[in-house]
Amino acid sequence: MSITIDKFLTTQLDELKAKGLYNTIDILQGANGPIIRVGSKDLINLSSNNYLGLATDERLKKATIEATNKYGVGAGAVRTINGTMDIHDKLEKDIAKFKGTEAAIVFQSGFNCNMGAISAVMTKSDAILSDELNHASIIEGCRLSGAKIVKVKHQDMPDLRLKAKQTVESGLYEKVMYITDGVFSMDGDVAKIPEIVKIAQEFNLITYIDDAHGSGVMGKGAGTVKHFGMADKIDMQMGTLSKAIGVVGGYVAGSQKLIDWLKVRAKPFLFSTAITPGVAAACIEAFRIMSSEPQLMERLWENGRYLKDGLKNLGFDIGNSQTPITPVIIGEEHKTQLFSKRLKEEGVYAKSIVFPTVALGTGRVRNMPSASHSKQMLDQVLSIYSKVGRELKII
């Protein structure tokens, strides 16, 4: 006898709740800016990916409204039927220019971009070497492609070289790809692009960098690959329009041939309606602002440094982040969750991240400072961290 859906759901939900793993969602009453209102309380927000504050930028809002008035609220069709408007085309050209590649293609989200782009290029005759800490959307994209997946130890270049050699020399696969996050969002560490390029050249690997957390942050906004000056050495640079760019969507930047192929093979491009005109216009404005206002990126990094120095001086373990992402490593899972809860009660919204998202015993509260936080806000954060840290005997 098969079980009913109700029985399945009840069992699963009860089990999650019993283990304390059931997530209840906080609802924001207003914008996701440096201060957010949750319930009836204003909290300093250190949990959003709105790195540059563009999600609430007046110029982006104006661009969205104007485009909505001109083109309507929806694109009306998938890109390949007649959902491609001149603003979609302009956005793709602007992204390619900003990234220093020949062309770019835009998707409705970073998640479906990875699903669509990886599976359009890789097949069951191929193999993908994948960093073990890659984002869920990369893992799904790899699975969907049907390629053999070979896990590579996190940021371990000798392991990458060994696995590349074994995989290529096995002679079992037509193509071999290496895929990695450009910036890992749990620790803030950065992919070793120059070493990756060297190994890729030695074994003729296809290279794919998911720069969801690098775009708008690294390389004066143009990402991790640009940061290392290697835009012409990485085959596929993926990014999101949902994080630093402040809106929603995803893209791949690369050669004209690659983009031509994705436009005829990537499923979400062919079978899911195009991003709305308002989204396209806001993104165009975001790239314009990033090109002309490097001080936005500078402020983000300065705030990151200020927060890191402050937390370190208080005696917290902030790991080895190379970006503004600032984890505070607490360790034990329950204590980590309690720490985050106490921060919230005191006025700071910073989420706890525990097993299975990160390794057991490395629970952390993750802080995402942005360009739009003021020094005063960060000082308040530090004073609350100091209080809660002493209370829970962490410092």
Q: What is the largest CA-CA distance in the chain?
A: 64
Residue ranges in contact with ligand PLP by CB under 6 A = 109-111, 114, 135, 137, 181, 185, 210, 212-213, 240, 242, 250
Nearer to ligand PLP (CB atom), residue 83 or residue 110? 110
Nearer to ligand PLP (CB atom), residue 87 or residue 138? 138
Nearer to ligand PLP (CB atom), residue 101 or residue 240? 240
Which alpha helices (H) appear in 123-220, and where do they start and end?
136-145, 157-169, 193-203
Nearer to ligand PLP (CB atom), residue 216 or residue 310? 216
Nearer to ligand PLP (CB atom), residue 300 or residue 377? 300
Residue with tokens 């996050």: 181
Q: Which residues contact 166 (CB under 8 A, 6 or more apart)?
A: none
Q: Tell whether the torsion through CA atoms of 90, 91, 97 and 102 is positive or negative.
A: negative
Classify residue 230 by its DSSP letter: -
Query: How is the chain split among helix, strand and coil, in percent rounded to 5?
Result: 45, 15, 40
- In the bound complex, what is the minimum distance in angstroms from residue 113's beta carbon to ligand PLP? 7
Nearer to ligand PLP (CB atom), residue 183 or residue 384? 183
- In the bound complex, what is the minimum distance in angstroms from residue 383's beta carbon to ligand PLP? 30
Q: Which residues contact 163 (CB under 8 A, 6 or more apart)?
A: 129, 150, 152
- In the bound complex, what is the minimum distance in angstroms from residue 181's beta carbon to ligand PLP? 5
Q: Residue number with the shortest CB distance to ligand PLP?
A: 110
- In the bound complex, what is the minimum distance in angstroms from residue 135's beta carbon to ligand PLP? 3
Q: Which residues contact 305 (CB under 8 A, 6 or more apart)?
A: none
- In the bound complex, what is the minimum distance in angstroms from residue 241's beta carbon to ligand PLP? 7
* Residues 51 and 244 sit within 8 Å (Cβ to Cβ): yes
- In the bound complex, what is the minimum distance in angstroms from residue 18's beta carbon to ligand PLP? 29
Nearer to ligand PLP (CB atom), residue 137 or residue 370? 137
- In the bound complex, what is the minimum distance in angstroms from residue 335's beta carbon to ligand PLP? 26
* Residues 261 and 120 sit within 8 Å (Cβ to Cβ): yes
Q: Which residues contact 392 (CB under 8 A, 6 or more apart)?
A: 335, 338, 339, 342
* Burial class for 19, CB neighbours closer than 10 Å (0-12, 13-18, 19+): exposed
